[in-house]
Structure formats: C-alpha cells, structure tokens
Amino acid sequence: MQTYRNTVDGNLAEPASRYEIFNPANGQSLGYAPESDEQEVDRAVHAALLAQKTWAKRSDGERRDITLKIAQILEDNSGYLAELLTREQGKPLSGPGSRFEMQACVGWTQVPASLELPPETVYEDDERKDTLHRVPLGVVAAVAPWNWPLMIAIWQIIPAIRMGNTVVLKPSEYTPIATLEMVRLISEALPPGVLNTVTGDGNIGSKLTHHPDISKIMFTGSEATGRHIVKASASNLAPITLELGGNDAAIVLPGTDIKRIANDLFWGAFLNMGQTCACIKRLYVQEDDYEAVMSELSAIASQMKIGDGMDESVLIGPLQNKMQFEKVRNLVSDARSAGCDVREFGEVPEQGYFLPITLVGNIMDGQRLVDEEQFGPALPIIRYRELDDAFESANRLDAGLGASLWTDRPEETIELATRLEAGTVWVNQHGAIHPMVPFGGNKASGYGVEFGIDGLKAVTQSRVISIKK
C-alpha cells in the first residue's frame, strides 16, 4: 500500500509516522497518510520563511505566470485527482461532485492569477502625496476541513502565493491524501519552500497556528475550532481569515412557483450530501406552500441514486466519516422521537457511511435538527405564517454564513435580502459562490472574506509611502 508524503522545502518528506485512510463508500484501504511531528512543523515553517524573501522579490508578472502554470497542472491532472478525491472524500465523480470540485480548483487559480493590486494614491495635494502599496505578509498557515478539501486548500494557497507569501498547509486528518497529491503536483511549478504541507490532527494544527514565524492564518472549519484559532493568534498576532460553520436559512416567499425552484432548492440543500458550509440547512415555507414544497422535493429525492461515487450514475455518495454519519443519524432520530414527519428517500447500500436523503417536516425552531448545523443529508422544513416570523427565525441563531430568498419577483427582493444577517444572501440560488465575488461569514460564521480583489487584499498588508512635495 502506498504511503503518501508531505511536501517540505520542495521535497517529499519521510513521514515520522503514518496512519491508514479508508474509502467511506466501502471501507477499502486507500493507503497511508503521513503524520507530522512538531519538528516537521518547524521544518516546514522554516523552509517557508526562507523561501518567502526571494518569492516576494519575483515580479508580479512572474508570479502571475507561475500561478497560471499551476492552473494548467490542475487541469491536466484533474481526472487523477477527482478519482482520488471520490475515493477519499466520498463525493461522486459526476454531477456537482469531484470533477466539479476540480473545475473549481482550476477557476479559483486562474482568476486570482488575472487580478492585480497596483499601488493606489490615497491622498494628494500641493504639499504631499500618499500612496498605499500592498505587500506580502510572510508565511501563511492554512488549515483546511474535509468537506471540499481540494477546493478550499486552493482558496487558501493561491491568493497567498499570488501576492508573494509562502504557505504551510495542513489538510484535515480525514482527507489528507488527495490534497498531498495535489500539492506534490503543483509544487513542480514552484520554487522549493513556497508551498509546504504538514499533516495530523488538531494538535499539529495548533502547533502550526501558534508558531511565532506565522504572519497570517487562513482557517476554514468549525466554530469551536475557530475559537482556538483566535486564541492561537494572540501568540503571534497573525491576522486571521476565519471561515466557520453555517446554519443557512432559506425562505420561500409566499406564492412562489415551487415547481420552478424545486431542483435548485434540492441541490442548495443536498450538495455534497449536505456537507457544505453554505448549504440550505433550514428551509422556511409559508403554510400554504408547505405541501407543494414537500411533494416537489420528495419527487426529486426519490429519483436520486445513492451509492459509491465511482459509479457515473450516482449523484449522492456516503458521508465522509463515522463521526459525521453518527451526528446526522442522531439529529434525525431526535426529530423522529419528537414526533416530526421524517421522510427518507433512496436505497442505501449496507456497507459504508450512507444515509438516505431525509426531509423532516412538522418541525419547529428550537429543535436540535433546526438549531444545530447538521452538515448532512437531512433537511428540516419549517412552516411559517407571516413573513416577518420567517425573518425572525432566520436571524435568531448565531451563525450567519449564507441565506437565501426564493421568489417569482427577484427584482423586488433587495430590501428584504438586506434584512437577513448573513455574509451572502442569494436570491433564487444558494451557495452560488464565484471567484470574483467576496465570500465570508457574519456573526459566529467568522470574519474576513475570500475571493476577488478583497480576498487578495486579505493576504497582504498595507504599506503607505508618504512624500512631502
């Protein structure tokens, strides 16, 4: 069985120890992931620190060309990486699955390559001229989750290196190997030390984020871990981009044509088996529309084939790990014991972390499946009477990543949309992120944004040059 390797200072590192990774669809071994020790974290950060000085001196054009080369490598290897990702993460090859994730990796590399942050004149009069320059921060610690492991790693790596930083990336301990392979491949385009990886659980993440030579932390994961990251940054004063969990509400406005929106609602909730930060996790529908929503979503759910994502006809795979599988099962069983209307769809294979697509009706705010982030294929559908009540429900939790409104009159929704407390409010779509559009959370879903020009600014510091005339 193959042992996958970390990339440290341009070399594949001999692992201190290793652990086995299993396919969540069938339990088969995929090989071994390396497990870094604290010395490896030091080596990786040191290599990144040394490499950063020369990397930052490269011209903007050179870094752009290298970033474009990385996009090409990702494209050339997308078949290999997508298959590895399906085996490791569970999302199917087809539909909005692993191939889709690889296309996103290419796009989120090409777009930052094409953007520039030239110096801005922020003030000028007869006596002075002040220009603001964007310079790199130094070494970026990137800590990633297991749900979209390659795409989220790319969101962290590419803007950072594009702007002259170097990176030490720690993938999730649940999904390290496709990420390690991606880094091994794209490192061919990069000088040694610009992109390094370390692997392991939260202890290695903690060692990395506390490291005195880290100048920026990019973190995507749960709210609980986010709080540890904020504490870590007290030791090195590294600014943080904090992308945390969500419990996104979607509100269907009264009288909306349900048939027209049903398919987008379905995928808004069940993308990646619901293991997506900005998925619909609570669906609010007016009582008169409730039956129509239930029946349209049921009709779509009953057509979905659940199984091993290597099968091209499968669109719904397993959950990624046992912890998440148990958590979702638990939330559904809690709803069932409370007398909710639990409707399950799809034939579930016996082996693997598979769950049926689950719609849960007759459920209310305050029940666990509504109030806790389920991060799985179980959608609570909550009735409302007055629209104001739905807005109050949507805003009552601490999470504020995304939200959506569904309507036949999208042009009339701007004022309503601004009432929702979320980093992004989508209208007639959900989770529709774009590499040019800033994305980040409000409230307990984090702070800072990724993507577009604002995302690039987040991996730089400002340096003002003030000249007396």
Residue numbers at the binding site for ligand NAD (CB under 6 A)? 143-147, 152, 170, 172-173, 201-202, 205-206, 209, 220-222, 225, 228-229, 243-246, 277, 373, 375, 401, 441, 446
Closest contact distance (angstroms) between CB of 104 and ligand NAD is 13
Q: Choose between 354 and 439: whose C-beta lies nearer to ligand NAD.
A: 439
Q: Choose between 179 and 358: whose C-beta lies nearer to ligand NAD.
A: 179
Closest contact distance (angstroms) between CB of 245 and ligand NAD is 3
Sequence-ordered alpha helix ranges (H) in 271-386: 290-301, 322-337, 368-371
Per-residue buried b or exposed e for 96-115, using 16+ beta carbons within 10 Å of the residue's own CB: bbbbbbbebbbbbbbbbbeb
Known catalytic membership, residue 340: no
Q: Choose between 58 and 327: whose C-beta lies nearer to ligand NAD.
A: 327
Q: Per the residue annotation, which of 105, 173, 277, 373 is the catalytic one?
A: 277
Taking the C-alpha atoms of residue 443 and residue 189, their distance in angstroms, rounded to an integer, is 39
Kind plus residue range of the DSSP H or E element containing 182? helix 177-186
Q: Choose between 81 and 152: whose C-beta lies nearer to ligand NAD.
A: 152
Q: Per the residue annotation, which of 40, 223, 243, 373 is the catalytic one?
A: 243
Closest contact distance (angstroms) between CB of 17 and ligand NAD is 16
Burial bucket for residue 418 (CB in 10 Å: 0-12, 13-18, 19+) = exposed
3-class secondary-structure state, position 401: coil
Residues 6 or more apart from 452 whose CB is under 8 A from it? 111, 115, 435, 436, 437, 438
Task: Decide if 10 contacts 187 (C-beta within 8 A).
Answer: yes
Write a three-state SS string for 32-77: EEEECCHHHHHHHHHHHHHHHHHHHHCCHHHHHHHHHHHHHHHHHC
Residues recorded for the chain: 469
Closest contact distance (angstroms) between CB of 172 and ligand NAD is 4
Task: Decide if 275 contacts 376 (C-beta within 8 A).
Answer: yes
Tokens representing residue 454 in the block = 């604002």
3-class secondary-structure state, position 304: coil
Known catalytic membership, residue 279: no
Q: Choose between 153 and 186: whose C-beta lies nearer to ligand NAD.
A: 153
Tokens representing residue 8 in the block = 């440290």
Closest contact distance (angstroms) between CB of 441 and ligand NAD is 6
Q: Choose between 24 and 164: whose C-beta lies nearer to ligand NAD.
A: 24
Taking the C-alpha atoms of residue 224 and residue 138, their distance in angstroms, rounded to an integer, is 27
Closest contact distance (angstroms) between CB of 9 and ligand NAD is 22
Tokens representing residue 233 in the block = 């940054």
User: In sequence order, what are the beta bridge partners of 464?
Assistant: 132
Q: Choose between 84 and 399: whose C-beta lies nearer to ligand NAD.
A: 399
Q: Choose between 145 and 193: whose C-beta lies nearer to ligand NAD.
A: 145
Closest contact distance (angstroms) between CB of 223 and ligand NAD is 7
Tokens representing residue 41 in the block = 């974290």
Positive or negative, the CA dihedral 95, 101, 103, 108 is: positive
Task: Decide if 410 contacts 428 (C-beta within 8 A).
Answer: yes
Closest contact distance (angstroms) between CB of 244 and ligand NAD is 5
Residue nearest ligand NAD by beta-carbon distance:
205
| Active site positions, annotated | 243, 277
